[in-house]
Amino acid sequence: MKNIFCYILMLVLFSSCSNLLEEKPQAIAAETFYNTPGEVQAGLNAIYKPVRQGGNMGALYQCQLEIYTEYMYGRGSHAPLNDYQGLDNTNITRVGDMWAGFYESIRNANLVIQKTPSGKKISETDVARFVAEARFMRGLFYFHLVRNWGGVPLRTEANMTLQNLARSSAQDVYNFILDDLGYAVTNLPEVPRLAGAPNKWAAKTVLADVYMNLHDYTKARDAAKEVINSNKFSLVPVTVADDFDKLFGPDVQSSAEEIFYLKFSRTPADQGFQFPMYAHYPNSGYYPPGGYYTFYSDAVTNKFVSQWDKKDLRYTFNWYSQTFGLGNSTILNKKFSDRTTTTAGGNDYPMYRYADVLLFYAECQARAAGQPDADAMEMLNRVHRRAYGKPAAIPDATVDFKLTDYATLDAFVNLVVKERTYEDCCEAKHWHDLKRLGTAKQVIKDMKGITMADKQLLWPIPTIEYNYNKAIDPVKDQNPGY
């Protein structure tokens, strides 16, 4: 949103970036760059640009992952995703572009990691924190790559000139991610470089998520607990549904709940969050420039949505009725809306927020202990209370879950996952949860009545990789089913 940092790659230095400078990327001559803090920060800013595009985390990445969930469906060229039989050619091309965007960002991070330590006018302190930011971003993007594609080529600052590079195992990729994030935790500052850059608590939060995906719930719990105990974050109070706009609205600069968000801005036009354009119906009032209504749900026929307690303020905030030929109970999601924009959305993308950390901790504490306890239930109830307009930290018998009703590990974990689905609806997080838990096939069968093909669980290695990378055989090294 608003005071977003400048994404600019120039051979000359910029003196300041008072708000948002227009992107005019040019090739960087590495041998003459990365010598001053200003040059390195320009290189750091370049890491974010590729993934913020509409074909990646600016819109289509979220669309793809949300349509896979049990509560959403896709339209138009995204309709084949509803079959859960893998990707058609159109969507294979889309995820290939996402692959390319992640690796472009990784390349830009590798340049900072490689060149910054040799900078002629940079202090050791600045070198450590700049490299830590680049390694955080690199680890984060590899985390998205490994969950969507499995083992991938590990392109680092040491081998970035090599064209032919084999796929590493998923475990090797995870080990690399842990190393990057560990460095980031140690060397990132408490206060981020600027709004939208990570700090050490963001690194701790992603580390908790990674450990959860490795099923190391003790380490995940400990990392989440450190973030909670830092007392740096809190849930944004909510009393009516519209108060959630204090979290997701287009005019929010930041909030007490923000841990790590991708920042966007209405102006210039190419800096906006394009996701709202895909979410909304034209003339619905939630996105004036128009809309593709790419994904939707049904308040009656979709089992997950129909069972959602309508007293939960998140339901009211998330959904609105909109008919367009699929029945009177069709609903669209309005979590990310910008009612005044004439260009693109000013909303930010909340990759990690404090509610996520509380729910991470609740699940991991129960798993590490072998059963839920009062501490795990309290963290869950804080998020749940807020959803009903109650003060998060004050017990409330009218809405609180009771430990005696969810005394077994399975019952409690299922409750946490359900709560997280309500909380993170339309944030492109739930599909990864279903895969981590190994429940994706069963959930889709139970909720949508569709038998999912195994190939649905991973995306194919794109042709843009194996056409040029001869260390990857397009048949032998391809993901199953493609």
DSSP string, 208-275: HHHHHHTT-HHHHHHHHHHHHHTT---PPP-SSGGGGHHHH-TT----TTEEEEE---SSSGGGSB-H
pLDDT at 31: 58
Q: How many C-beta atoms surround the C-beta of residue 192 within 10 A?
A: 18
Q: What is the pLDDT of residues 45-88, one digit of tens each?
A: 999 999 999 999 999 999 999 999 999 999 999 999 999 999 99
413, two tokens? 């974990």
Mean pLDDT calculated for residue range 300-316: 98
383, two tokens? 């998020």
Q: What is the pLDDT of residues 342-384, one digit of tens each?
A: 989 999 999 999 999 999 999 999 999 999 999 999 999 999 9
pLDDT at 28: 54
Most distant CA pair in the chain: distance in Å? 65
Contact 72, 295 (CB under 8 A): yes
3-class DSSP state of 94: helix
Mean pLDDT calculated for residue range 256-281: 94
Answer yes or no: is pLDDT of 228 > 70: yes
Task: Tell me what the pLDDT averaged over the chain comes to.
Answer: 93
Mean pLDDT calculated for residue range 9-26: 33
Q: How many CA atoms lie within 13 Å of 408's alpha carbon, on the beta-carbon side? A: 3
97, two tokens? 């572009």
Using pLDDT thresholds of 50, 70 and 90, give the confidence band for residue 30. low
Contact 201, 259 (CB under 8 A): yes
CATH class of 215-263+350-435: mainly alpha
Q: What is the pLDDT of residues 375-429, one digit of tens each?
A: 999 999 999 999 999 999 999 999 999 999 999 999 999 999 999 999 999 999 9
Using pLDDT thresholds of 50, 70 and 90, give the confidence band for residue 269. confident
pLDDT at 32: 67
Answer yes or no: is pLDDT of 197 > 60: yes
Task: Report angle CA 218, 397, 395 to the nearest 5 degrees.
Answer: 55
Residues 6+ apart with CB under 8 A from 479: 149, 150, 455, 458, 459, 460, 461
Answer yes or no: is pLDDT of 170 > 90: yes
Please report, for residues 211, 226, 437, 446, the alpha-carbon distance to residue 221 in angstroms, rounded to integers and kept in the order given: 9, 9, 16, 30
pLDDT at 29: 58
387, two tokens? 């959803």
Q: How many CA atoms lie within 13 Å of 260's alpha carbon, on the beta-carbon side? A: 25
CATH class of 1-188: mainly alpha
Answer yes or no: is pLDDT of 19 > 90: no
3-class DSSP state of 256: coil
For the chain, where do the domains classified as CATH 1.25.40.900 start and end? 215-263+350-435
For the chain, where do the domains classified as CATH 1.25.40.890 start and end? 1-188
- Distance separating the N- and C-terminal Cα atoms of the chain: 39
**φ and ψ at 94, to 5 degrees?**
-60, -50
Answer yes or no: is pLDDT of 24 > 80: no
Residues 6+ apart with CB under 8 A from 357: 205, 208, 224, 227, 228, 233, 259
**φ and ψ at 156, to 5 degrees?**
-125, 180
Q: How many C-beta atoms surround the C-beta of residue 394 within 10 A?
A: 9
Cα(125)–Cα(180) distance, rounded to whole angstroms?
18
Answer yes or no: is pLDDT of 3 > 50: no
Answer yes or no: is pLDDT of 6 > 50: no
Pairing, β 258-262 against β 295-298 = unpaired
Answer yes or no: is pLDDT of 8 > 90: no
Phi-psi region of 215 (alpha: psi -120 to 50; beta: other; left: phi over 0): left
Distance between alpha carbon 439 and the CA centroid of its chain, in Å? Answer: 20
Mean pLDDT calculated for residue range 91-111: 98
